């Protein structure tokens, strides 16, 4: 079985598993419904929707947490039905769009050509845009107009954003490999193979983090791994979860969120695992606390923010991991990973709402509705703007101002 077949079999199973994993009440056979939003809610901060747009059909039913990227005042976005687009980040005006085609999904000939199944990215650095696909390709394109420069054929799905750094394009694939590709040609420089990938895993990969000549990522078996950027050699790994339990589902321990670097400290989470602070240069744990999450933490000031597997929003002390606050108001609303916009934590939910919580005490401060579709991608904060994308490719840009 080719990797692409195997992963799409997993997609069908894992889309149900992700939903079921949030149901821990053994007295009920159904999935926990989203907590209703308070009808008498009074916002304490004013939200202005600056613009909205759409890119293709977004991530659709693929389960990919695909969101936009903003670089030098331009927002770039892609969809699994083959559209790439660039928008003015301030106004939402479309600067260019490209509908691309490639060889058929399972390697058929030219007469069966179809749209490129964009799923990983886009990533932009200077004049280069890199984007991966569900059928194991990475494309290097012009960020000015979307014209193709090179193509790399890998072994499995690319469902997380590549990283462009120096003369390398770093790419992670769903089969546990990390690649260093030549920025100019897409040729393979090195590959790191995780080895045995768990047969059962939550759908998704955390993005790569490149800093100080090292590549960091969370693995499918619940580890934080550090690689040399120049040759892909493993420097160290640290457990974020222990993989214990009676059943395969209980033993799931994926680290599917982003690893966050603040100063020299790394922060990461894992499903059925822990929130861990690690010294970046040495890989030595600084503190750890039990915390099961599908997503990425966010760090601002002396606080770490994270969403657990029941969609409760938490804040922890950055230096030691002590609880600061917890908000239950959005429980079971299957939130995105959090982002920090000024004095507020921003999350999207399963019904297309965007929520702002005060960083100081977790109180709900504002909400807006982007659409009626789930928001799975982490919001993107740039300056005083936050950009949010749902699974159907709707994009909204929001600005806050005090009442």
- Classify residue 349: in a domain, yes or no: no
Q: Tell me, what's the pLDDT at 153? A: 96
Confidence of residue 170 (pLDDT cuts 50, 70, 90): very high
Dihedral of CA atoms 359, 122, 173, 155 in degrees, nearest 10, equals 170
- Classify residue 389: in a domain, yes or no: no
The residue with greater pLDDT, 343 or 21, is 343
Strand partners, 171: 179
Q: Tell me, what's the pLDDT at 402? A: 57
Given a cut of 70, whether residue 403 has pLDDT beyond it is no
Range name among 76-85, 229-238, 250-259, 372-381 with the lowest pLDDT average: 250-259
Q: What are phi and psi of 334, to 5 degrees?
A: 45, 70
Given a cut of 50, whether residue 6 has pLDDT beyond it is no
CA dist 170 to 134, 153, 219, 256, Å? 17, 14, 15, 17
CATH of the domain at 320: 2.130.10.10
Which of helix, strand or coil describes residue 355? strand
> 47: closest CA among 298, 343, 365?
365
Which of helix, strand or coil describes residue 215? strand
Both tokens of 365, joined, read 């401060």
- Classify residue 394: in a domain, yes or no: no
Confidence of residue 308 (pLDDT cuts 50, 70, 90): very high
- Across the range 218-246, mean pLDDT stands at 82
Q: Tell me, what's the pLDDT at 19? A: 39
Q: Tell me, what's the pLDDT at 114? A: 52
Q: How many domains does the chain have?
A: 1
Q: Tell me, what's the pLDDT at 240? A: 78
Query: pLDDT tens-digit profile of 316-340?
Result: 999 999 999 999 999 999 999 999 9
- Classify residue 86: in a domain, yes or no: yes
CA angle 378/167/223 to nearest 5° reads 45
- Classify residue 228: in a domain, yes or no: yes
Given a cut of 70, whether residue 4 has pLDDT beyond it is no
> 186: closest CA among 146, 134, 129, 144?
129
- Classify residue 47: in a domain, yes or no: no
- Classify residue 391: in a domain, yes or no: no
Task: Identify the residue whose tokens are 């903003």.
Answer: 70
Confidence of residue 220 (pLDDT cuts 50, 70, 90): confident
Q: Tell me, what's the pLDDT at 242? A: 63
- Classify residue 238: in a domain, yes or no: yes
- Across the range 282-289, mean pLDDT stands at 93
Share of the chain above pLDDT 70, in %: 82
Indicate the average pLDDT of the chain.
86
- Across the range 7-21, mean pLDDT stands at 38
Domain that residue 325 falls in = 3-37+68-344
Both tokens of 228, joined, read 């040399």
Query: pLDDT tens-digit profile of 82-123?
Result: 999 999 999 999 999 999 765 444 444 444 445 589 999 899
Given a cut of 80, whether residue 27 has pLDDT beyond it is no
CA dist 165 to 211, 212, 359, Å? 9, 11, 32
Query: pLDDT tens-digit profile of 334-371?
Result: 999 999 999 999 999 999 999 999 999 999 999 999 99
């Amino acid at each position: 079985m080719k990797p692409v077949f195997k992963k799409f079999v997993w997609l069908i199973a894992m889309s149900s598993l992700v939903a079921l994993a949030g149901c821990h009440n053994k007295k009920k056979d159904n999935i926990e419904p989203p907590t209703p939003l308070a009808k008498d809610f009074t916002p304490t901060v004013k939200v202005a929707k600056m613009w909205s747009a759409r890119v293709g059909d977004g991530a659709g039913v693929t389960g990919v947490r695909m969101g936009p990227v903003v670089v030098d005042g331009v927002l770039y976005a892609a969809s699994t039905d083959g559209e790439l687009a660039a928008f003015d980040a301030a106004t939402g005006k479309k600067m260019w769009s490209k509908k691309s085609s490639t060889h058929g999904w399972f390697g058929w000939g030219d007469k069966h050509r179809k749209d490129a199944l964009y799923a990983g990215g886009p990533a932009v650095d200077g004049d280069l845009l890199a984007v991966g696909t569900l059928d194991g390709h990475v494309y290097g394109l012009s960020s000015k107009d979307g014209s193709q420069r090179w193509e790399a054929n890998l072994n499995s799905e690319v469902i997380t954003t590549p990283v462009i750094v120096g003369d390398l394009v770093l790419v992670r694939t769903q089969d546990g490999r990390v690649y260093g590709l030549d920025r100019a040609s897409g040729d393979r420089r090195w590959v790191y193979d995780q080895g045995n990938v768990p047969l059962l895993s939550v759908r998704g990969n955390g993005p790569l983090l490149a800093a100080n000549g090292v590549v960091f990522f969370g693995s499918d078996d619940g580890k934080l791994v550090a690689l040399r950027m120049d040759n892909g050699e493993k420097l160290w790994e640290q457990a974020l979860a222990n993989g214990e339990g009676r059943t395969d589902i209980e033993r799931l321990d994926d680290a599917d969120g982003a690893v966050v670097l603040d100063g020299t400290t790394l922060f990461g989470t894992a499903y059925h695992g822990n929130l861990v602070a690690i010294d970046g240069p040495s890989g030595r744990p600084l503190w750890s606390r039990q915390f099961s999450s599908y997503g990425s933490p966010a760090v601002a000031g002396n606080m770490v923010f994270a969403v657990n597997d029941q969609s409760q929003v938490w804040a922890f002390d950055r230096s030691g991991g002590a609880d600061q606050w917890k908000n239950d108001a959005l429980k079971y609303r299957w939130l995105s990973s959090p982002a920090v916009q000024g004095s507020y934590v921003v999350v999207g939910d399963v019904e297309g709402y965007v929520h702002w919580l005060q960083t100081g005490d977790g109180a709900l401060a504002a909400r807006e509705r982007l659409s009626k579709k789930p928001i799975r991608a982490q919001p993107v904060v740039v300056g005083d703007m936050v950009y949010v994308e749902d699974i159907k490719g709707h994009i909204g840009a929001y600005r806050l101002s005090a009442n």
